[in-house]
Each structure stands twice: as C-alpha cells, then as structure tokens.
Amino acid sequence: MIKILLIDDDTAILRMLSKYLCQEGFAVETATSGEQGFQSFKTGQPDVILLDITLPDEDGFFIAQKIRRIDRDVGIMMVTGKKDVIDRVVGLEMGADDYISKPFHLREILARIKSILRRKGVYDREPSDNSDQRPSRKLVYFADWTVDLVARVLTAPDGNPVSLTSGDFSLLEVFLKNPQRVLSRDKILDIVAARQWEPFDRSVDTRVRRLREKIEKNAKNPEIIKTIRGEGYIFSAAVTLAS
C-alpha cells in the first residue's frame, strides 16, 4: 500500500485526514510534532508526507530540509494556515513538492497527493476493478525473492510484500538489470538520472544500506549486494526472469 505520513499538531485535522485517506486505500501514519514526524519518516519510509509548517517543537520548513537531506524522492506537501507567498516560496526552496493552505477540501488534498505520486513514478494510472485493464506482470527472481517490475512490488521468500520507497525500488531495479556486474556510484547515478540525484551524491550509499536491511539476512555481512572496495557495488545473486 502507498504510505502517507501526516505531521500536524491539530489532532482534529489528523483524525479527519487519516479517516479520509484510509478510506481511499492509503496506509496512514500520524505525528503531532516535528521530532515525532521525523522519526516516523525514518522508520516508516512513507511515499508522501503532509507537513504542517507550524509545529510545537520545530517548524515544518526545518523538518522538510532534514527529510530532503536523507531522501530526495519522498513527496512532501506543506500544509499551513498561512497564505503568505513567502511561506510558499520558502517551503518549495526547502524541498517541498507542493503547498496547500488551510482550510482545504479533502478532494483537493487527494488530487494533490495523486499528482505528487504520479510525478514521483509511484503509479501512472488509476486503479481499476477490471482485471483485463491491469498491466501485465513482469516477474524477476533472485535468492528466493520475487520482484514485479510493473507493479513495483518486492515479495519476501515467505510470501509477504516488503515496503520500499520509490527511490529504493529504483535502485533495486538497477541492480536487477545489471546482475554480477560492478557498478560505480557514478554509473548508478547515470542510470537513475531522472531521480535528480546530484553527482557524487552519497545518498547512493544510504540507499544501498537501506536496501540491504530489507533483503539481506545480515546487512552487516551482505551476500547479495556486495561492496567492491574502490569501485562500487555488485549484485552477486543470480537473477531469473519469469518464463
């Protein structure tokens, strides 16, 4: 499920948004302070964050900046009662993807969330109840894991889906398409240039670490994604396409 993180000190708004977004099929987590929201972001790996500017401990601008230092792909929508254009400009400069002022309509929130998700490549079409209209699956297997490259779903050996951010899934896809081949950080950045990672961005190492924590039996002693000192990384597991 697509994950939404709501950070706002107004509990009434949190309840309203949480109930509405859950009804729309999203997994929702809430936080009432900047620090709590930042910790929820690090542990929950949401796809979109609705972030209030005015928080009791740290303002939303600062939280957005901290989040962007870690993850360039997560969608961020600033939510505030202020209508000053300066707040909007500052929010966008801090890394926000969108901005909305209170009071807002729930349908507008939903539309803006879907727009962010489409821009981030999380999904490209509305879900359909007609199975004939669904895109075909493209399954890839490695070390008892299954990956659906069309639905962008990672399934563990025990059959349970594993949550990945869109950026981390893109990194996994790079490795799956280049198995048993040493990839430098620069090469990885070239392949995922659409993600707008900066040259020599050390977030490659951060993403590799997060991916290892998901798929390795022992992330500190990886067997699937190995480090080649002075060169980069290699995806050592055999990769098989479904027939």
The pLDDT of residue 90: 60
Bridge partner list, 80: 101
Per-residue pLDDT tens for 8-63?
999 999 999 999 999 888 999 999 999 999 999 988 889 999 999 889 888 888 89
Cα–Cα distance list, 166 to 32, 94, 186, 220 (Å) = 25, 20, 20, 23
Specify the residue for token string 């929820």.
40
Specify the residue for token string 């004939």.
132
What is the average per-residue pLDDT within 66-73? 84
Terminal alpha carbon distance of the chain: 27
Torsion of CA 18, 22, 26, 30, to 10 degrees: 20
Mean pLDDT rounded to a whole number for the chain: 82
What is the average per-residue pLDDT within 170-186? 90
Q: How far apart are CA 225 and CA 175, in angstroms?
A: 8
Residue 191: CB atoms within 10 Å: 16
Bridge partner list, 183: 233
Would you call 182 helix, strand, or coil by DSSP? strand
The pLDDT of residue 130: 43
Global pTM reads 0.52
- 120: enclosing H helix or E strand: helix 106-120
The pLDDT of residue 94: 66
Per-residue pLDDT tens for 133-165?
444 457 888 998 988 888 788 888 887 888 888
The pLDDT of residue 86: 57
Q: Which two tokens stand for residue 119?
A: 């821009």
In order of their start, the domains of the chain are: 3-120 (3.40.50.2300), 135-241 (1.10.10.10)
